[in-house]
Amino acid sequence: MAETLTQKILKNHLVQGNYQTGKEIGIKIDQTLTQDATGTTAMLLFESMGIDTVKTDLSVSYVDHNMSQFGPENHNDHLYLQSVSRKMGIYHSRPGNGICHQVHLERFAKPGATLLGSDSHTPTAGGIGSIAIGAGGLDVAVAMGGGEFYLNTPKVIGIKLSGALSPFVAAKDVILKVLSILSTKGNVGCIAEYFGPGVASLTVPQRATITNMGAELGVTCSIFPSDSQTEAFLKAQGRSQDYIALAGDEDAKYDRIIEIDLAELVPMAACPSSPDNIKAVSEIEDLQISQVLIGSCTNSSYRDLMTVAAMLKGQTVHKDVELGIAPGSRQVLSILSGNGSLNELILSGARILENSCGPCIGQGFSPGNGKVSIRTFNRNFPGRSGTTGDKVYLVSTETAAACALTGKITDPRKLPELFGIKAASIIEMDTIAIDDRMIDMPLPLNEAKNAEVIRGDTIVTPPAGQVPPEKLDGQVLLHCGDKITTDHIMPAGTFLKYRSNVPEYAKYVFNCFNEAGKPSFADRALELKARGGHGVIIASESYGQGSSREHAALCPMYLGLKLVIARSAERIHLANLINFAITPAFFDNPADYDRIRAEDRLEVDEFRQAIESAETFTVKNITQGFDFVCRFQLSDRDRQILLAGGKLNFTKNQN
């Protein structure tokens, strides 16, 4: 029977369950990655399991998020991660070596492998033919210990590519086109698989840009075949031994097919403030800008930055624009330095930033009030830049370079007439001088046993969950709208340094909804918890969009949250809620969402019993005097995790 590439890899890694669409399966995980903003908690949870060393083929700890080190918190995290990685059999990519997804693509990702990462953009490695999935840190910790990763057998959306990209049109425009079709919601339980004759025209870095922003679609992951382009990339990285040819069968059946002719695409932009608010650049031209940022795990490869260097050579950044460029890895920066391209960027007026996530997660370069910021990043959620009411547009590197030169949103296809600049024709390198000195090897087992783990005062072991109450005595702490992201729930930016200290970080849960002069969400939640009550969140569509940050469940759990009722929710956050003993439920009648108000008192009799066996349950609105029905979307295993008080307790009970 003909199979998709997705089916081939998942079936090859199947450990538990039957491969039937919608049914839960457990798969073996070959590789894991963590980064410092999520990895410290993941490592602490891994230690809590009492396992001496990782059981995967490869696990890597990266430091790429909290780099600025204002105060002791970030450096304490770095020292802890370096020392615990050496002890636990984990490779450690040191600060300055680069962004986890770029470095992993260069040095570790393999066609046909499964990768689980505590970062939502882990699917970047799908560009090399991996099934690469973002997850919460607790799921990654379990995988490091040899446990399976559970997911529902996915539907496969086939995206058939034909033709080739025109000059000044980029891989970023491909994924923006897909986002314009599928949007950021409604794709839970799906994998996007690219196939067709147009695939051969795209290099691995271009493919990785597309799979990276598959995270914004809400799909489990995205994947490209492994072919001659993959072989050439791995050969240049000195990893020819990792190459295998992989593709779906020609007559494979997809659950849905989207056809895109690459030759018909035009430069596109995601407008404020959602990655699926897509318009052609030509539709929004001439809007004045103040800032351009090039980098992030989406567009910081050798190909991306060589393209920008070629376009800016001999030119000067517009006087009203600040241009920042962050190379994705030390390898990329070294190549640019060696071939003179770095100098071209500097001479143009660009500011060269650290090889890190930086402004993409609100770590610096926040735009001024009311100013337009052009970015090659993957997310433009409201306030993510660090500025309230920000106006962030997401574009390709080609479009970003054009904007930097003109001081306004500009279709890069106009550059030949404006500046005489031709489209850059970048040829990937055949051979790269490999330098892995910034990747620490784990210690041999005999040395690891007695190795010291460095724990600064700001490293606090996260709390475990609690079993659900027999009866829910709830209060609606927040009634929120559509597309509530994990940035809304747990702010990043300057607050990231508190992630290793849950009691401290929890003070900022739903910080964006707090009003001056009124008790904060955290204060109200803790006061309710002290009275023996249970916090409830009421949400609309696509609750929990965005990053894998499990703190968006872990910190609310610490504050006493017990129940989230939504019209719909996104995959990673849904799993994180379950992992930290917060029960997710859904309105049986979506109209009931509109009837509930903040501060309403809600009760559920026999709440624990409902979690154990019910498909639906009744919620009493004591304040307004009506009942409404909710339904679960829980597997048997999900129910067991909730009843155990979360996945950490569940995992310990299994051992």
Residue 244 half-sphere exposure, CB side, CA atoms within 13 Å? 12
* 51-84 b/e (C-beta count within 10 Å ≥ 16 → b): bebbebebbbbbbbbbbeeeeebbebbbbbbbbb
440 is catalytic: no
- Give the residue carrying structure tokens 């007026």: 349
| Catalytic site includes residue 547 | yes
- From the list 30, 36, 77, 119, the catalytic residue is 119
Beta bridge partners of 323: 292
d(CA 470, CA 509) in angstroms, rounded, equals 26
Cα–Cα distance measured from residue 71 to residue 194, given in angstroms and rounded to the nearest whole number: 45
Strand ranges (DSSP E) for 237-310? 256-261, 268-270, 278-280, 291-294
The reply to whether 523 belongs to the active site is no
Strand, helix or coil for residue 462: coil
Please choose, from the candidates 75, 44, 243, the residue with its C-alpha nearest in 3D space to the C-alpha of residue 137: 44
Catalytic residue among 13, 65, 303, 375: 65
Identity of the amino acid at 134: G
d(CA 375, CA 298): 10
Alpha helices in 276-425 (DSSP H): 302-312, 330-339, 341-348, 397-406, 415-419
| Active-site residue, selected from the candidate residues 207, 330, 379, 413 | 379
User: Which one is catalytic: 36, 64, 139, 440?
Assistant: 64
Catalytic residue chosen out of the listed positions 83, 396, 547, 548: 547
Radius of gyration of the chain (CA): 24
Structural contact between residues 244 and 226, judged by C-beta atoms closer than 8 angstroms: yes
Name the catalytic one among 207, 488, 549, 571: 549
| β pairing state of 14-16 and 24-27 | antiparallel
CA–CA distance, 298 with 655 (Å, rounded to integer) = 39
Residues 6+ apart with CB under 8 A from 426: 303, 306, 307, 310
Separation CA 143–CA 108 (nearest Å): 17
SS3 state of residue 604: strand
Residue 78 falls in the annotated catalytic set: no
Instruction: Report how far residue 288's alpha carbon sits from residue 537's, in angstroms, rounded to the nearest whole number.
Output: 40
Report the number of secondary-structure helices (H) and strands (E) in the chain: 23, 27
Q: Is residue 233 within 8 Å of residue 203, measured between CB atoms?
A: yes
How distant is the alpha carbon of residue 106 from its chain centre? 18
Per the annotation, the verdict on 379 as an active-site residue is yes
User: Using H for helix, E for strand and C for coil, what is the string for 71-128?
Assistant: CCHHHHHHHHHHHHHHHHCCEEECCCCECHHHHHHHHCCCCCCEEEECCCCHHHHHHH
Is residue 65 part of the annotated active site? The answer reads: yes
| Residue 507 backbone dihedrals phi, psi, to 5 degrees | -65, -20
Q: Which residues are catalytic?
A: 64-65, 119, 379, 547, 549
